[in-house]
Amino acid sequence: MPHAYRKSSPLVKVVAITGSNGKTSTKDLIATALASKYKVIRQRLTSITEIGLPKTLLTIAPDTQIAVVEMGMRGFGQIRALKALAEPDTVVITNVGETHMELLGSMENIAKAKSEILENLTAKNDAILNGDDPYIQKMHTGANTTTYGIISDSAVKASKVEVTGVGTTFTYTSKVSGKTQYVDMPLIGRHNVMNALAAIAVAEIYGVEG
C-alpha cells in the first residue's frame, strides 16, 4: 500500500538518506533547508526504518512537494527493499562505518549493503556522496553525482572549519551554484559540517537559495 500511494503521487520528489552515522541529523538539515522553498514532509520514526519510511510515504498530502526519508539496514537486501518502496529521486550516502559489523563481517560488506541505494539509478536521479569516505569513493552509479567533503576536492567543499564551545563555522565553495559562502551554525563538530554540506548540496540541486 505505501508503494502504491507513492506511485499515485508522481510529482512528489523523494530524498532518501542512508549511511552508518549521521542519517537523522542530515535528514533534518535537508528537510529544513528544502522547507524554505517547498512543502516538505520528513520521516519522524527513525529507530525502525521499515516502519517509519512506509508511514511517512502514507502522509504524502495533495500539497506535498518533497518527502525526506532515511534508510537504515541490518543486512543485505534491506536498503534495496526500502528503495523499491520509496523510489527516491535523490539519494544521499553519509558514510560507511563499523555499525553492524557483527552482522556483515567487514567494512567492504557494509559498503556493499549501503550501495544498494545507488542501484538502477539513471541520469534522472541525483546521488549526493561523501567525497571524503574511501569506501564511498569506490561506489558507482548511473545518477548525476555531487560529492561533498572537507578533505577531498569535492563539488561542495568546506574550508576554514572552526569548532567552538557554542557551534561551528566554516566556508564552503560550491561547483553546483558557483558561490562561496560563510556558515555559522549552532552545531558542534566536523561531523556536523559534513552533515551540513550534504544538506547544502541537496538544497542547491533543488534550487534553494542559501
Q: Print pLDDT tens along the chain (210 aa).
A: 667 778 778 889 999 999 999 999 999 999 999 999 999 999 986 656 678 888 899 999 999 999 999 998 888 999 999 999 999 999 999 999 887 777 788 999 999 999 999 999 999 999 999 999 999 999 999 999 999 999 999 999 999 999 998 999 999 999 999 999 999 999 999 999 999 999 999 999 999 986
> What crossing angle do the helices spanning 23-34 and 190-205 adopt, rounded to 10°?
40
* Count: domains in the chain: 1
For residue 181, tell me if it sits in a domain.
Answer: no
- In this prediction the pTM is 0.94
For residue 166, tell me if it sits in a domain.
Answer: no
For residue 142, tell me if it sits in a domain.
Answer: yes
Sheet containing strand 66-70, edge to edge, reads 40-42, 66-70, 13-18, 90-93, 126-130, 144-149, 156-163, 168-174, 180-185
For residue 98, tell me if it sits in a domain.
Answer: yes
For residue 52, tell me if it sits in a domain.
Answer: yes
Residue 86 structural domain: 2-149+189-205
